[in-house]
Each structure stands twice: as C-alpha cells, then as structure tokens.
Amino acid sequence: MRGYMRFFSAVYALAIYGFIFLPVVVLVVFSLQSTAFPIPPFTGPSSRWYEAVLNDPRLTSALFNSLAVAIISSVVAVALGFASAWSFARFTLPGSGIMRGLITLPLTVSYLIIGMGLLVIFNMIGLPKNLLAAGIGHVVINLPLCFAIIYSQMGDHQINIERAARDLGATEWNVLWLVTLPIIWPAIFASLFLSMTFSWDEFVISFLLTRFDTTLPVEIWNLLRSGLNPKTNAVGSLVFAVSVVAAIILELILVRRRPA
Amino acid sequence: MTEALVEMKNISHSFGRVSVLHDVSLTINPGSYTVLLGPSGSGKTTLLSILGGFIIPRKGSVLIRGVNCTMMAPAKRPTTTVFQDYALFPHMSVGNNVGFGLRMKGVIKSERDRLAHEALVIVGLPEAFRKKPHQLSGGQRQRVALARALVVKPDVLLLDEPLGALDLKLRRQMQDELKAIQKQVGTAFVHVTHDQEEAMALADHCVVMNQGRIEDEGTPERVYAKPATRFSATFMGESTLIPGEVASVMNNAISVNTVFGTLPIIATAEEGAKVTLAIRPEHMRLIRDSRSLTFGSAEVTAVIFQGSFKRVVATSTTLWGPTFIAKIPATHDVAVGDTVTPCCHIEDLIMLTK
Amino acid sequence: MNELSKIDRALPWMLVTPALLWTLLFFVVPFVAMALLSLNFQGEGGMTVSNYSQFFTNPSYYRAMINSLEVTGLVTVISVLLAYPFAWILAEQIPQRLQRLALLLAILPFWTSYVVRSYSWLLVLAQNGVVNDALLRARLVTEPLQLANTRTATVIGFVHFFVMLLTLTIFASLKQLNPSYRKAAADLGAGPIRTFIYIILPLTLPGVVVGAFLTFVLAIGDYITPQILGGNNELLMPQLIMMQIGRRGDFASASALALILMAVVTIAYIACARWLKIERT
C-alpha cells in the first residue's frame, strides 16, 4: 500500500511540476529562436533577440524607470510604515484601532480600483500621467503591507528592551537608532524587499497612470500588441533570470546572517 | 504466580551515535502503578515511547500478554498514551475527543457517547461533554486526555510527564485522583516523571533510571529506605554520604573504616570493598544522645525554613568529612554558624556498594 | 516622566501623520471621488443611480459579472483541488531536508513577471503553439485546436498562478500542525487515511479557506490574464471597466462598475469571516 502511495505521489507531483514549469520553459527556449516567430519548430539557439532587447531604447529606459519607481516608492512606503508602526506600538493614541485599520485598508482593494481612483482625482487636479503618479500609486499599495509587517514585530518583549534602554539613560533618538532598528531590521528588510517586488512587477496602476515614460511591465504589454514576438520572450527571460539571481543572493545573505 | 503483563527484554536504543538505552529489562504486572523516575537524559521517555510503539528499539523485544509487539504500530497495540501536551483534537468536542478511539474501532455513535460519558464521570468532568478543548483549563484538559485513553480499555496506560504543566497544588490534587482512578479502573499504569515526590506518592513499583540504565527498582518504601546505588540515594530524596572501606566481615556484621572511626552495620559486603554509608536527613540528629553513633562536630552553613521542618546543612570540622544534611522540627533553634554534633542511630545507616 | 516636553507629546503624532495623510489623500479621497462620480454628482445636488441601474438592465454589463463569478469560482475550485494533494506530497512524502528546495522549485515561476507569465501561456496555447504542435505530431487531432482566446485559456492561466500560491499556503498550514495530534490519532487506532480524514483535513481547512478567499479576490479583480488569454470574445468585469475608461472615457460608468465589484468582494469577505468564526466555536 505504501509503495502505491509513493508511486502515485511521484507521478502526481511530477505532473504538477511539469504544468508549473511548462510556460517558463517555452518562454526561455523560444527566446533563443533564430527566426521571427516564437513557435515550433525551434530554430535556435540564437542570441539575436537578446541583442534586440538590449539595443531597444524603450525597453532599456523602461527597465530603469521600473527600478527607480520600485526603489523610491518602496523606501517611502517603508519609511511611512515604520514611523507609524513604531508610533502605534510605543504610544497609546486615541482612536488607534481605527487609524491602524485605515492604514491597512488598501490591502483589501483591487489594484485596478486603486489605480482608477487615482486617475480620477489626478485628472481633476490636472496632474499629468507620469512615473510620479505611478510611484504614488505604488506607495498606496505597499504602505499597508510595510505597516502590517513591521507592526507585527513590535511585540511586548520589544517594549521591555526599550524600557531597559531608557532606564539606563538613553534618549528616544538613541533608543531608536541603537536598540529598535538593529533588532527590527529583518522586518524592515522584508517589507522593503516585498514592496520592491510588488512594485517592480505591477502593471495595472502603472498602465493607468503613465503615458510616455513607463515601466517595464507596461512596455512589455505594448510589445504584445505586435503579436507573438521572440523579443518578448527575451525580455521576459531576462527579467526572470535577474529575479531568480536576486532571490538566490538574498537567500545567501539571510542564511549567512542568521545562525541557523 | 500471576503472569507478567508486559515484558521488556534487553532493550537497547540509540539516536544516531548517541546511546540512550543500554540493555534495559523491565517487567510490568497487571494492575500495578509503575513509575519511571529519572533526570532528563535518563532514557525514561524513550523507554515509554518504545512501549507505546512510537519507537522501534535497535535491540530487544517488547511482549504484551505474551505477544511480541516490538514492531507493532501504536494503533495495533493494546496500549494508549496520555501525551505531555495532551494533544486533544481542537476541532472536536470533548465528547468526540474521548470517543475517537472507539470510533476507530467501529463502535456506533450511541454506544460511543454512552461510554464517553462514563469515562468523563470517572475523571470527574461529566458536564464537559459538549465543550471544546480551548474552553477548558489545563487540569481539565489533562483529565479529558486521561478519559480518552482509558475509554478504549487498554491493557497498559502510558503517561508521559502528565502533570508537568500544572502548578503545585493542582499537581498534588491530580496525583490523588490518578491514584484513585487507577485503583478504580484496575488498568496497569506506566508513568514517566522526574519528580521523586510524585513517584513516591503514586507508584507501587518504582523504577529509578539514570543514563539509559535502571539503577534501582522496587516499592517506593524499599527504594527510599534501602537505595541500591549512590545515584538512587541522592535522586530519591537526599542523603548524607560517608565514604569508607570494609574492614572486617563477621556473617552479616560488618565494620567499615571511615574518617569517624570504625562504624558497624548489618549488611552484605566483601572485606576491603569500597562502600558508601548513607543517612537520610530525617534520621540525622544534631544533638548527641547516648544511643547514637557520632560523627564529630560540624558548623552550620545554611538553615532553610520549609514550613513544617527546617533543612539544615552543616560542614564537618573533621578533615575529609562530609556535608551533613538534616531535617529538624521547625521549632528547634539552630542558626548559621552554630556548632552541632551530628549523630544517628545504628539501624539508620544505609550501605551502598555502587 | 511627569512633564513631557512639547516635542515628546507631539512626536507620536508627527510620526503617524504622514502615513495617515497619504492614505487619506491617495486612497480615501479617490474612493469618495469615484463614488460621487458614479452617482453623476453634478455639484448642485443632482445625483442619479443611472450608472448602477444600467448595470442591472444592460445584458452585456451584468453578463460580465456573471462571467467573472463563473470563471473565478471555477478557478478557485480547480486550484484548491490541484494544490492540496501537491502541498500534501511536498509536506509529507518528500524527505525533510529536501522540502524547502522542492517548495522553492514549485513557486519559482512566481519570479517571472505576471504579464510575461500570461504571455507565455499564450505561446503555449496558440494555434501554432507548442500544445497544438504536439497534438498534431501525435496525430491526436487533424487540425489545430482553438485554445487561446477562450475562457479555457483564461482558466488555465489563472489556475497556473493560483496553484503555486495555494501550494505555498497549504504547505505552511500542514507544517504548522502539532505533531502530537498525529501521534494521538495513531495511538487511538487511526491509520494514515483516517488520520488524514478526521484530523489533518479538518485542521487545515481554515488555511485552505483563507487561501481560496485570496484566490477569489485576486482573480476577480485581475485584468491582465483575461485580456491576454481570453481575448475579447467574452468580457470579464475588469475588462469591462477598462473598456469604459479607455474607449469611452466614461469614468462615471467605470466607477460604478468598480464599486459593484468591490461590493461583491466585500460580501465574499464577510461570508468567509463568518465561516471562520463559526469554525472557532
């Protein structure tokens, strides 16, 4: 009986893995296509489409835009999230529950609706569609996440450690820099990383709020207008490769730091 | 002669390279309350797990009612276990928790509920049937775990440090109840603990374990009064220990050379053997009287008030003398720094050869 | 400790205000603006619910909601049914030291951009794509099948994403289970099948429900997958909303539709929260 279980489990698991990896494999394989259509038969390998990507000014500038928006909006989101999380956890403010609920509310709303709302008011006040608008939208979606993650780490034992520091004569500033931040940095790091990931890959808000200078996902979407094109495969594979490498580096950093 | 209920023969086991049990053999009789007593790392929990079927020993065999159960899964063995964290299924009511084992046996619902009710009455929680585990206190959950294990009428009930999570008063109360329930139900209990008071209160068969071996075994009274080894003498209660060497043997009358001179004792030993003489604190006196053996004088280093008695620690003024531990009535006046004359009656000397 | 300086008293508010202000300005206000727009608020008190009633009367409008509910429901059910056994195998059958790696591999495609991922499925399902190519070569069909630009393609695209997500959440749920429960069940006579049915499944169900809810919410609000894979033959709500914005610049209508979608999500949330609360008691 055990043997049957093992066999069927293996078959099922492999089937699911196959399903999961199918589109990725097709993407990467046909990015090396030497002819113009990313469909069978495979006429490769050729690096022409990767060259095309790296030589395409729109794609490369979109890449930089994405990076810039991701970094800046994430830093803002983490800063706002940390400041408020620390405050709520350390001080008793009236209506704290309601305010905290308000800050985490955007988590429950679809990005499409958030983007729409911003489009409406930006139209009203005459703010043009650009990367700044998209960046503002990204802060809106990432702030609740940063807040929630950091707030959840401000537990009771944290309070006692800070009390001990104050008891020994530290000012609020000292407590923040020398005690709180060093202990809480994994949460800060995690929320920064998650925010950057969400912002980097975010489509709808960027789509609605940018026009000429745009982010990478939107530029890829534009590429799709021209039908199936190995160039899209190439840029997709590049993004995938970079993300995986970044994730691996992250794993190594975190594994090194923490005494396992 | 009643047939043994459980026979564990030459059990050895190790985790990786670390050996945790060395050739341990144990017999459990029907209707007995066996306590496995020992410090952490003594192997007592491993032995219980082997009996319950959660671990298959590297060497040795387990026979229950004459049937070799060594390789049998827990589900098939006539044993049930009360776990340290109770492991009550949080999504089921108390009644369904207790009836779970019966359900696995195919008992129909009405019968299951009736038996579950009975079991809950035995443990004193008849009104908890419909409640969920998270609505109960620690002590109540412990009783439900007991009911769940008892209702399937196992041959042996295994308890893994069941009272560890309870405060002192509740623990004492539960000890009384456990003893009473065991007597009422008649099932053999095997109970693991590191608390020697608990062992003495509950067991009729006490097994003292240390570093994977059984050091001593017997009724609590005997194990306490005549411990077999130094470990047993100091783990089960406290002792004052005086090392010595056997000077002469005349039948069972032995003379032992110690720093306090030659002390007589009735025991069995060989001439020249290195032994230890042990004296229990309640037999240790601090004021000389004519009948006693004397042990020089000592200076009191600590007096600890314990309510009904005082625990006195005194260092011997004789070179190479031991540390004396004595229990004296609370009304006696002793202070740190006093000089006392430790002594005891001859019959209170215990000889330890190991 | 008694006399707090002005700075000390103002500090907490100084730290909290930026986040609050941002949320108010860039989340609450847009929301209110959308709500007012949807009611055709003209400033002199002229409000109509025409945008909402239009939803109920115009078939192509409520058709989109029905499509969305059908597709999302289907995706949620299929994804849960596929993901649970997979998560179970990862948590139980794979040796401990390999589990983290196996899980990481299972969610690796998360790292492709969402747009690119949907595009990849288009490649796979296209008339001259990989699947059709294989089918033709194996002579299982004589003509290429129309797989892309169908509801099936949308469902496949969604299921691909959510199987990964649900595997992650269900795996975590299984791992968190107290091992004592399994021991106790085994001790009382339950074999592996019955331990699963009576103990493991019920105790992991809340985690599954939360994952399913997440799936529902994310899928029903997604524009990318249906647009790339479903084409314009059958519209789902997000596509309809985008159409109002893009083609017709009709923000009033779009706002109304967006709020209706939000209402559906809120109902699902309340139902889910209720069910989870009942589970507790």
**Sheet bearing B188-193, strands edge to edge:** B79-82, B156-160, B188-193, B33-37, B205-210, B213-218
What per-residue confidence (pLDDT) applies to C1?
46
The shortest C-alpha distance from B78 to chain C (Å) reads 9
List chain C residues with CB under 8 Å of A12. Answer: 85-86, 89
The shortest C-alpha distance from C189 to chain B (Å) reads 4
Residue A99 to residue C20, Cβ atoms within 8 A: yes
Tell me the ipTM for this assembly. 0.86
Count of CB contacts below 8 A, B vs C?
56
Q: What is the DSSP letter of C91?
A: I
Residue A113 to residue C221, Cβ atoms within 8 A: yes
What per-residue confidence (pLDDT) applies to A252?
79
**Sheet bearing B309-316, strands edge to edge:** B323-329, B309-316, B298-305, B339-340
Residue B104 to residue C190, Cβ atoms within 8 A: yes
Asked if residue B132 lies in contact with residue B82, where contact means CB atoms within 8 angstroms, the answer is: no
Region of C129 on the Ramachandran plot (φ > 0 left; ψ -120 to 50 alpha; else beta)? beta
DSSP B299-327: EEEEEEE-SSEEEEEEEESSTT--EEEEE
The shortest C-alpha distance from C216 to chain B (Å) reads 26
- Report whether pLDDT(A84) > 50: yes
Out of C22, C124, C126, name the one closest to residue A139 (CB).
C22
Q: Of A122, A139, A114, nearest to C238 (Cα)?
A: A114
Instruction: Tell me the pLDDT tens digit for each residue of B243-271.
Output: 999 988 888 888 899 888 888 888 888 88
CA dist B112 and B99 (Å) reads 6
- Report whether pLDDT(B77) > 60: yes
The shortest C-alpha distance from A149 to chain C (Å) reads 15
Helix (H) or strand (E) holding B215: strand B213-218
Q: Does C180 touch chain B (CB under 8 A)?
A: yes
Out of C15, C86, C116, name the one closest to residue A220 (CB).
C116
Count Cα atoms within 13 angstroms, Cβ side, for B240: 28
Asked if residue A112 lies in contact with residue C217, where contact means CB atoms within 8 angstroms, the answer is: no
Out of B54, B85, B152, name the one closest to residue C188 (CB).
B152
What's the full length of chain A, in residues?
260
What per-residue confidence (pLDDT) applies to A1?
64
Report the residue of C173, C178, C181, C187 to disrupt the B interface, i.e. the one with the largest count of B CBs within 10 Å.
C187
CA dist B5 and B27 (Å) reads 8
- For CA atoms B313, B314, B316, B320, the dihedral sign is positive
- Report whether pLDDT(C45) > 60: no
Q: Does C275 touch chain B (CB under 8 A)?
A: no
What per-residue confidence (pLDDT) applies to A77?
96
CA dist C159 and C155 (Å) reads 6
| Chains contacting C (3 or more CB pairs within 8 Å) | A, B
What is the reported pTM?
0.82
Residue C89 to residue A24, Cβ atoms within 8 A: no
Residues 6+ apart with CB under 8 A from A116: A208, C30, C34, C241, C245, C251, C254, C255, C258
| C near A: at least 3 beta-carbon pairs less than 8 Å apart | yes
What per-residue confidence (pLDDT) applies to B38?
94
pLDDT band of residue A260 (cuts 50, 70, 90) is very low
Helix (H) or strand (E) holding C65: helix C59-88
Burial of C88 from C-beta contacts in 10 A (0-12 / 13-18 / 19+) = buried
Q: Does C233 touch chain B (CB under 8 A)?
A: no
SS (H, E, C) A18-55: HHHHHHHHHHHHHHCCCCCCCCCCCCCCCCHHHHHHHH
Out of C93, C120, C164, name the one closest to residue A6 (CB).
C93
Asked if residue B21 lies in contact with residue B42, where contact means CB atoms within 8 angstroms, the answer is: no
More confidently predicted of A47 and C216: C216
Question: What percent of chain C has a predicted confidence (pLDDT) above 70?
Answer: 93
More confidently predicted of A177 and C1: A177
Out of A16, A38, A140, name the one closest to residue C123 (CB).
A38
Q: What is the DSSP letter of C27?
A: I
Asked if residue B198 lies in contact with residue B171, where contact means CB atoms within 8 angstroms, the answer is: yes
Question: What percent of chain B has a predicted confidence (pLDDT) above 70?
Answer: 99
Instruction: Tell me the pLDDT tens digit for each residue of C49-104.
Output: 777 877 888 888 889 999 999 999 999 999 999 999 999 999 988 888 899 889 98
Q: Does C186 touch chain B (CB under 8 A)?
A: yes
Residue C190 to residue B75, Cβ atoms within 8 A: yes
Residue C187 to residue B52, Cβ atoms within 8 A: yes
Per-window interface: C 36-75 vs A, CB < 8 A:
37
What per-residue confidence (pLDDT) applies to B57?
94
Q: What is the DSSP letter of B285?
A: B
Quick one: average pLDDT of B48-69?
Answer: 93
- Report whether pLDDT(A14) > 60: yes
pLDDT band of residue C5 (cuts 50, 70, 90) is low
Which of A210-221 are b and which e, b meaning 16 or more Cβ less than 10 Å from the residue's Cβ? beebbbbbbbbb
One-letter identity of residue C51: N
The shortest C-alpha distance from C176 to chain B (Å) reads 14
Q: Of C189, C123, C196, C194, nearest to C153 (Cα)?
A: C123
Out of C34, C93, C255, name the one closest to residue A9 (CB).
C93
Asked if residue B256 lies in contact with residue B263, where contact means CB atoms within 8 angstroms, the answer is: yes
SS (H, E, C) C223-234: CHHHHHHHCCCC
What per-residue confidence (pLDDT) applies to C90?
94
Packed helices C59-88 and C251-280: angle between N→C axes, nearest 10 degrees: 40
Q: Which residue has the tokens 């649970």?
A: C84
- Strands B156-160 and B188-193, by their bridges, are parallel
- Report whether pLDDT(B354) > 80: no
Per-window interface: B 97-116 vs C, CB < 8 A:
100-101, 103-105
Q: Does B133 touch chain C (CB under 8 A)?
A: no
Residue C188 to residue B91, Cβ atoms within 8 A: no
Instruction: Tell me the pLDDT tens digit for each residue of B155-183.
Output: 999 999 999 888 888 899 999 999 999 99
Q: Quick one: tokens of A146?
A: 């940063």
pLDDT band of residue A185 (cuts 50, 70, 90) is confident
Q: Does C185 touch chain B (CB under 8 A)?
A: yes
Asked if residue B84 lies in contact with residue C193, where contact means CB atoms within 8 angstroms, the answer is: no
Residue C188: CB atoms within 10 A of its CB come to: 27
CA dist C238 and B329 (Å) reads 86
Which of B185-205 are b and which e, b meaning 16 or more Cβ less than 10 Å from the residue's Cβ? eebbbbbbbbbbebbbbbbbb
Asked if residue A106 lies in contact with residue C27, where contact means CB atoms within 8 angstroms, the answer is: yes
CA dist B270 and B277 (Å) reads 15
Residues in a beta bridge with B278: B241, B350
What per-residue confidence (pLDDT) applies to A25?
92
CA dist C147 and C145 (Å) reads 6
Q: First-to-last CA distance in chain A? A: 37
SS3 B270: coil
CA dist B122 and B124 (Å) reads 5
- Report whether pLDDT(C29) > 90: yes
Quick one: average pLDDT of B90-115?
Answer: 93
Please work out, in degrees rounded to the nearest 5, the angle formed at the alpha carbon of residue C40 by the alpha carbons of C36 and C46: 100
List chain C residues with CB under 8 Å of A111. Answer: 221
| Chains contacting B (3 or more CB pairs within 8 Å) | C
Instruction: Tell me the pLDDT tens digit for each residue of A194-232.
Output: 899 899 889 999 999 998 899 999 999 998 877 788 888
Give Rg (Cα) of chain B: 24
Residue C281 to residue B54, Cβ atoms within 8 A: no
Alpha-helical runs (H) found in chain B: 44-52, 94-98, 100-105, 109-122, 138-150, 168-185, 196-202, 220-225, 230-235
What per-residue confidence (pLDDT) applies to C261?
92
List chain A residues with CB under 8 Å of C22. Answer: 80, 139-140, 143
Residue C181 to residue B91, Cβ atoms within 8 A: no
Q: Of C168, C195, C191, C165, nearest to C179 (Cα)?
A: C195
Q: What is the DSSP letter of A180?
A: I
List chain C residues with CB under 8 Å of B80. Answer: 187-188
CA dist B86 and C178 (Å) reads 11
Q: Of C201, C196, C219, nearest to C77 (Cα)?
A: C219
List chain C residues with CB under 8 Å of B105. Answer: 189
Asked if residue A149 lies in contact with residue A198, where contact means CB atoms within 8 angstroms, the answer is: no
Q: Which of A179-183, B11-15, B119-123, B168-172 has the lowest mean pLDDT?
A: A179-183
- Report whether pLDDT(C44) > 70: no
Count of CB contacts below 8 A, A vs C?
215
Q: Does B56 touch chain C (CB under 8 A)?
A: no
Instruction: Tell me the pLDDT tens digit for each residue of C223-278.
Output: 999 999 987 788 999 999 998 888 767 888 888 899 999 999 989 888 888 888 87
Instruction: Tell me the pLDDT tens digit for each residue of B33-52.
Output: 999 999 988 999 999 999 99
- Report whether pLDDT(B1) > 60: no
Q: Quick one: tokens of C241?
A: 């909303």
Quick one: average pLDDT of B2-6?
Answer: 81
Q: Does C1 touch chain A (CB under 8 A)?
A: no
What per-residue confidence (pLDDT) applies to C8?
66
Out of C18, C255, C258, name the one closest to residue A83 (CB).
C18
DSSP C162-221: HHHHHHHHHHHHHHTS-HHHHHHHHHTT--HHHHIIIIIHHHHHHHHHHHHHHHHHHHHT
CA dist A206 and A215 (Å) reads 7
- In chain A, which residue's Cα lies nearest the Cα of C31? A117
Residues in a beta bridge with B245: B257, B274
Residues 6+ apart with CB under 8 A from B211: B41, B42, B43
Residue C178 to residue B132, Cβ atoms within 8 A: no
Q: What is the DSSP letter of C107?
A: T
